[in-house]
Amino acid sequence: MLQKLAGRLRWDRTEGGICVEIPARRDWWSIPLAILLCAWSAGGWFYEANTALDDTQSVFMLITILGATVGAIFFVLRSIWAMTGQTVLILDTAELKIQRRAIGLDWYERHFAAQDAYNLRYIQPREIWAFRTDTDPSTSKVTIQSLRKTYTIAHGISEREACALIDRMMEVYVFPKNTPLEQVGIAR
């Protein structure tokens, strides 16, 4: 049974490791925008179907409708992720697995050996350009590197949640804080 770890995070001990569920940050503003874009796209398609009989179609109208349709699909998918999305992290002493799920379906999965992973860190949220003292919480993340590639474990995570997650991960496997360049050594 999953227990609360910190904030939105829930976790459980598994045989030889941990399993952590990280829900997507709720992004409520995308729902009205998705509805608006769907209505705009439907209206455009309805208009285009009615004017197709008149043979007065314009290329600009077709491009506008296509753009609205692509935008509507993007915001519908984003709304689905905001409402049902979660990242599942499964870690044991041998392997680290990151899964992304939406509507209960796995759509992304990454495996790598724990011994190949290094540089586990929390990246603080960026400042909002117009407000120098405020930050955008959706830009924070926890990342890890493996085989010279950086993978994001969690997006839009608070510092308290990130510290709790990293502490639990370090209990299972101590990730080194070095880079491949430091392993090889650099002459100065």
Q: CB–CB of 20/89 below 8 Å?
A: yes
pTM: 0.71
Has domain 3-24+85-180 been given CATH number 2.30.29? Answer: yes
Quick one: pLDDT band at residue 185, thresholds 50, 70, 90? very low
Average pLDDT of every residue of the chain: 79
Query: Taking the domains of the chain in order of start, what are their residue ranges?
Result: 3-24+85-180, 30-82
pLDDT digits (tens, 9 = 90+) for 124-151: 887 766 666 666 677 788 888 888 888 8
Query: What does the pLDDT average to over 95-110?
Result: 89
Higher pLDDT, 21 or 40: 21
d(CA 102, CA 11): 18
Q: CB–CB of 34/74 below 8 Å?
A: no
Nearest by Cα to 121 from 176, 68, 73: 176
Q: How far is CA 21 from its chain centroid?
A: 13
Among 4-18, 56-70, 129-143, which range has the highest average pLDDT?
Answer: 4-18
β-sheet bridge partners, residue 39: none
Nearest by Cα to 8 from 139, 125, 155, 143: 155
Residue 187 has pLDDT above 50, yes or no: no
CA 158, 154, 149, 89 torsion-angle sign: positive
Higher pLDDT, 69 or 20: 20
Nearest by Cα to 143 from 113, 177, 185: 177
Residue 62 has pLDDT above 80, yes or no: no
Q: CB–CB of 102/85 below 8 Å?
A: yes
Let me know how many helices (H) and strands (E) the chain has, helices first: 4, 11
Residue 184 has pLDDT above 50, yes or no: no
Quick one: pLDDT band at residue 183, thresholds 50, 70, 90? very low
Higher pLDDT, 4 or 28: 4
